[in-house]
Amino acid sequence: MVKLASAGVFLALVVIAVLIVVSSGNSGGGDSGNIVEAKEVDGLLAGIPQKGMVLGTPGAKVTVLEFGDLQCPVCKGYSEEVLPQVIENRVRSGKATLDFRNFTIIGPQSKPAGAAAIAAGEQGRGWNFVELFYRNQGTEDSGYADDEFLTAIARAAGVPDLARWNRARRSQAAIARVEATSAEAENLGFTGTPSFALEGPGTDGVEAIGTPESVDTLESAIEHAGK
């Protein structure tokens, strides 16, 4: 009986180990065949106007500029932990707009990824693309952000015309814009991502605030910029 039970336990442990190995193979992110959290992103952004890479009601008092690299894991953290509260409290209420600008510092795929976000923005889905990219981000600069991955993100982000998006993301204009905003970030003195700048009645032009430590720090800076 003991032998039989031991064999049973051994068999069960082997099966559990196989299940865990197969399951963890799914977990690396950057998987174009398994884009997750599209519904959450839709919920986060639903009902908020988008124009280009700007999220929020045009004419809001404060503009929050986010300089990010889609391949940057810290930006992913901000996207998941900090920005949802800012979007709910400041953007949805019409007090501020969020303007995503590429600051490509991670690797060679950052630039085409940024251009792909801009191309999605031309069809009103720029922020869906950015947020969904972050939530499905793969290992930093591992080569996951290829055409297949970008297309899967665009599709899940609800970009209506993928053929138009494909042309736009490869256009010189989109690439040039990524390069221009990266240069702008350097001019503002930024060296890492994400970095933020604010513009409003309480600021002297575009004011760089770097990388806020917490959502409260960012929110109080936005509050101050609006006064």
Partner 1 sequence: MRAPAEGTLRGIATFLATFGVGVATYIAIADSGGGSPVCIAGGHGCQTVAESSYSHLAGVNIAIFGLAGYVVLLVCALLRGDAFRMTAFVVSLIGFGYSLYLTYLELFTIDAICQWCVASAVLMTLLFVTNAVRMLGYVGTEP
**Which residues make up the interface to partner 1 (CB under 8 A)?**
1, 4-5, 8-9, 11-13, 15-16, 19-20, 22-23, 26-27, 29, 31, 34, 36-40
Nearest CB to partner 1, comparing residues 2 and 163: 2
Least separation in angstroms between CB 56 and partner 1: 23
Least separation in angstroms between CB 134 and partner 1: 15
Least separation in angstroms between CB 24 and partner 1: 8
On whether the CB atoms of residues 67 and 174 are closer than 8 A, the answer is: no
Tokens linked to 104: 């490509």
Least separation in angstroms between CB 90 and partner 1: 21
Nearest CB to partner 1, comparing residues 40 and 207: 40
- The amino acid that residue 83 corresponds to is L
The separation between the first and the last C-alpha atoms of the chain, rounded to the nearest angstrom, is: 79
SS3 96: strand
What distance in Å separates the CA atoms of residue 62 and residue 64, rounded to the nearest whole number? 6
Least separation in angstroms between CB 42 and partner 1: 11
Nearest CB to partner 1, comparing residues 16 and 180: 16
3-state helix/strand/coil string of 50-79? EECCEECCCCCCEEEEEEECCCCHHHHHHH
- The amino acid that residue 201 corresponds to is P
Report whether the peptide linkage leading into residue 49 is cis, meaning its omega lies within 30 degrees of zero.
Answer: no
Nearest CB to partner 1, comparing residues 29 and 124: 29
Nearest CB to partner 1, comparing residues 3 and 213: 3
